[in-house]
Amino acid sequence: MLRTDTREHPESAEDHEAAATAADAPEVCCELHFQRCRWCGTVAYRRSFCRACGSTAFTRERSEGSGVAVRRNGHVPHNTWFVAMDEGFNVLCQVTGTAPVAVAMGARVRVVRSVAPLGQGLPLVELTHPAPPLERWW
């Protein structure tokens, strides 16, 4: 008589899970990478083709991680800004460690955490020169 064993093996399943958990530990990384077109040198961030020449060939480069907040995006409490990086590409970032009211157009920021390994969330930036406390403004 043929028997098909469909039960799972508890021990081996547990082993597999433990190994996966160790390997999937979130990697906190403050390195922001961008693309440079192989043909015309135009810089880009997460594009599938070059906006200048249409090429799909990019090299990956590491950003120095500093830039300027140029435009607020979305609602004020979210504190998300388009940041013009010094290398010439723009990234939507979330400003951390500062009240939204303290961030202004032209503020220098630096990257404190780039995106998670699976691309979740926005890169986090903070002000390079934090604004003085609110009570000193008036």
Alpha carbons 94 and 74: distance in angstroms, whole number: 11
- Residue 59 engages Zn ion in binding (rule: CB under 5 A): no
- Spell out where 24-107 has E strands: 33-37, 43-44, 58-62, 66-73, 80-85, 90-95
- Interacting stretch for Zn ion, rule CB under 5 A, among 43-51, 69-77, 85-93, 112-120? 43-51
- Residue 96 engages Zn ion in binding (rule: CB under 5 A): no
Phi first, then psi, for residue 100 (nearest 5°) are -50, -35
- Residue 44 engages Zn ion in binding (rule: CB under 5 A): no
Please identify which residue in 18, 40, 104, 134 interacts with Zn ion, judged by CB under 5 A.
40
Interface contacts to Zn ion, rule CB under 5 A: 37, 39-40, 42, 50, 52-53, 55
